[in-house]
A and B are shown apart, each in its own frame.
Chain A
Amino acid sequence: EDKVVQSPLSLVVHEGDTVTLNCSYEVTNFRSLLWYKQEKKAPTFLFMLTSSGIEKKSGRLSSILDKKELFSILNITATQTGDSAVYLCAVRTSGGSNYKLTFGKGTLLTVNP
């Protein structure tokens, strides 16, 4: 069975801190890894990663994938209170069920002023 594990499950930091969220996976026929931000409503898409070693960046957020070690990290620099959310990692596989996303349980990030 495909498995996605995120760590830590929760994290509390102060504004301005830098955080690193982890996502490891065990799946057959890996295709891509996606990061979402969920703030008590719709998960919103952040990044999709398919190749190892290529960093994706969007403002203060960045993410990278290591397909050899089967993990990804999401970095947030200079955190703000608006970054408080659950960050979800999901993996998509290729083959017959390539439409299906397998999610981790998420990391709850709380940024205090």
Chain B
Amino acid sequence: NAGVMQNPRHLVRRRGQEARLRCSPMKGHSHVYWYRQLPEEGLKFMVYLQKENIIDESGMPKERFSAEFPKEGPSILRIQQVVRGDSAAYFCASSPSGAAGTATGNTIYFGEGSWLTVV
């Protein structure tokens, strides 16, 4: 039973380039979340998506960041024109339904993260 799969695990980009991070949720999960972990900070919610819909993007910077979860294929977090402050670990998580943590069977599961370094 494959868990949440993220790639790439590590990504180095120069300032001004684009970063694309991919996430395939666990089998049977249709709800995807992206969290960002800055150095020595806790995980911060960025965006919540269901298939073809963005439900809540309140934690995502208004500029340069976008996310999608198409009908087919993985969820993508896209960062345009990266800056040094974007260097962080980006974690994707999934759950069977949207009320994450309501019951043991609906716990949110995390991927291993994508570490973005902007040089």
Q: Name A's B-contacting residues (CB within 8 A).
A: 4, 31-32, 34, 36, 41-45, 48, 88, 90, 92, 97-106
Number of interface residues of B (CB under 8 A): 30
B31 touches A99 (CB 8 A): yes
Question: In the complex, which residue of chain B has the Cβ closest to the Cβ of A5?
Answer: B42
Which listed residue (B40, B56, B101, B110) contacts A31, Cβ 8 A?
A: B101
CB of B45 closer than 8 Å to a CB of A? yes
CB of B1 closer than 8 Å to a CB of A? no
- With a cutoff of 8 Å between Cβ atoms, the chain A residues found around residue B35 in the complex are 101, 103
A103 touches B3 (CB 8 A): no
Give chain A nearest CB distance to B11 CB in angstroms.
Answer: 16
B48 touches A99 (CB 8 A): yes
Which listed residue (A44, A100, A106) contacts B42, Cβ 8 A?
A: A106
Interface residues of B in 77-109 (CB under 8 A from A): 91, 95, 98-102, 104, 107-109
- With a cutoff of 8 Å between Cβ atoms, the chain A residues found around residue B55 in the complex are 99
B99 touches A104 (CB 8 A): no
A41 touches B112 (CB 8 A): yes
- With a cutoff of 8 Å between Cβ atoms, the chain B residues found around residue A48 in the complex are 101, 104, 107
A45 touches B113 (CB 8 A): no
6 sampled A-B residue pairs with Cβ under 8 A: A43-B43, A43-B110, A48-B107, A98-B102, A100-B48, A100-B100
CA distance A4 to B44 in the complex (A): 12
A104 touches B110 (CB 8 A): no
B102 touches A32 (CB 8 A): yes
Point out which of B4, B42, B98 has the most chain A C-beta atoms below 10 A from its C-beta.
B42
A101 touches B108 (CB 8 A): yes
